[in-house]
Amino acid sequence: MLIRTLLTLFITTLLLQACYNDKADKLYPAPTGGCDTSGVTYSGFVSQVVGSPTCAKSGCHLNPGAQAGLALNTYADVRKAALDNRLVGTIADSPGYRHMPDDGGKLDACVIAKIDAWVKQGAPQN
């Protein structure tokens, strides 16, 4: 009886140690090592990304006729997309969002991290 109790206690202890609540930010930390996400602004960084040929192609996100009704011509346009989560959702390839850029490629992880940090900072212009 004592052996059975000890064995049950041992197995229970092992199971409890194996079951803990992982935190996503601890398991998958934001990219570091040369990717400074502090102080990102629209005019200092984001405008160059959305204004690049990756996003600002004719027939994609330039007015008139911006795809999906998502124009990226001005700070106000980009800020609106950022604050309703469409911008980061699409570039990070999050579930429920259409992958962008549309050519099948993916933006650099540091670029995505910087834009995400910009959004989390309230999407400042300058």
124 vs 22, 50, 83, 84, CA distance in Å? Answer: 32, 15, 11, 15
Contact 66, 60 (CB under 8 A): yes
Per-residue pLDDT, 24: 45
Per-residue pLDDT, 23: 47
pLDDT in tens, 85-107: 888 998 898 998 888 877 767 88
If one counts every other C-beta atom within 10 angstroms of the C-beta of residue 47, the result is 17
Q: What is the dihedral of CA 40, 38, 93, 65, to 10 degrees?
A: -10
| Type of residue found at 120 | K
- pTM here? 0.67
Which position has the higher pLDDT, 15 or 111?
111
- Given a cut of 90, is residue 120 above it in pLDDT? yes
Per-residue pLDDT, 117: 96
Q: What is the mean pLDDT of residues 66-78?
A: 78
For helices 109-120 and 75-83, the axis angle rounded to 10 degrees is 90
Each as own residue / partner, the long-range contacts of residues 103-112 (CB below 8 Å, 24 or more positions apart, any chain) are: 107/49, 107/54, 109/31, 109/35, 110/31, 110/34, 110/35, 111/49, 112/88
Highest mean pLDDT: which range of 9-13, 15-19, 77-81, 117-121? 117-121
Mean pLDDT of the chain: 78
Distance CA 20, CA 35 (A): 31
- Given a cut of 60, is residue 114 above it in pLDDT? yes
Per-residue pLDDT, 28: 47
